[in-house]
Structures are given as C-alpha cells and as structure tokens.
Amino acid sequence: MSLISLGQFGEEYTCKYLQSKGYTILDRNFRNKIGEIDIIAQEGTVVCFIEVKTRRTMQYGAPFEAVHSSKQRKMVRMALSYLKYKFRTVDVLSRFDVISIYQAATEEPTLHHLRNAFDLTYLSH
C-alpha cells in the first residue's frame, strides 16, 4: 500500500467509524488556499474538524504526535474559513479532533479518537 493509499484507507476507515458513532460526514478533503482538512463531520450540534493520521509503524511516534502546533494553527484558520463559507458565520459550536490509526501489515487497524484535541482560543493568540 503506498502512502497515498494508506492515507485514503485511514480516511475511509475513519468515516465508517464516525458514521457508526452517529456522526454525519459534511465534507472530506476540504481544500482552499490555506490548506486542507481531512474530514468535517457533525456530532449533534457540534461541527468537528478532524485530522486523520495513519501509520504502519511507531518508529517516529504515535500518529497523533504529527499534529504539532503549526498544523493546529493551520486547522484553526481552515475551520474559520469553512464556517464562514458554509454557515456564513464563525459563531458555530465546533471542536478539533485527531484520529490516529495504526495499521500494521498483518493486524486489524487500531483507531484512537482524541476528541477536542486542542483549543481554538489557545491557538488564536
């Protein structure tokens, strides 16, 4: 499996997981000049901006560790852009989640859902 297909696998696996938990998928791979958000989903009244990280090994740490502060700031800017574009306001209950998937070659995938992984107000300073 190539890196692109590993990433696609992770996003597909995540969407199935989220839907099984009652989420509605609003958008996938939302892109603009700022960057991309892997999955935008809704849980009840909360819009969730979700970064998916899929890895085959833990050689460089757990997948969620790749979502560092600069990636978080970019996700915040993307989320604000998305909210303005889709809802015409940024006054929408939302949160940032990170989903880590560890997929060793011969094992079932292991998914870890880190809800509210970081805070918008902390990063906007």
Is it the case that residue 43 has pLDDT exceeding 80?
A: yes
Residues near 93 by beta carbon (within 8 Å), at least 6 away in sequence: 45, 46, 47
In the chain the domains, ranked by start, together with CATH numbers, are 3-123 (3.40.1350.10)
Token duo for residue 23: 């989420």
Exposed, middle or buried: residue 92 (CB in 10 Å: 0-12, 13-18, 19+)? middle
Is it the case that residue 3 has pLDDT exceeding 90?
A: no
Is it the case that residue 87 has pLDDT exceeding 90?
A: yes
Is it the case that residue 52 has pLDDT exceeding 70?
A: yes
* CA distance to 7, 82, 106, 108, 110, per residue, from 29 (Å): 11, 12, 28, 25, 22
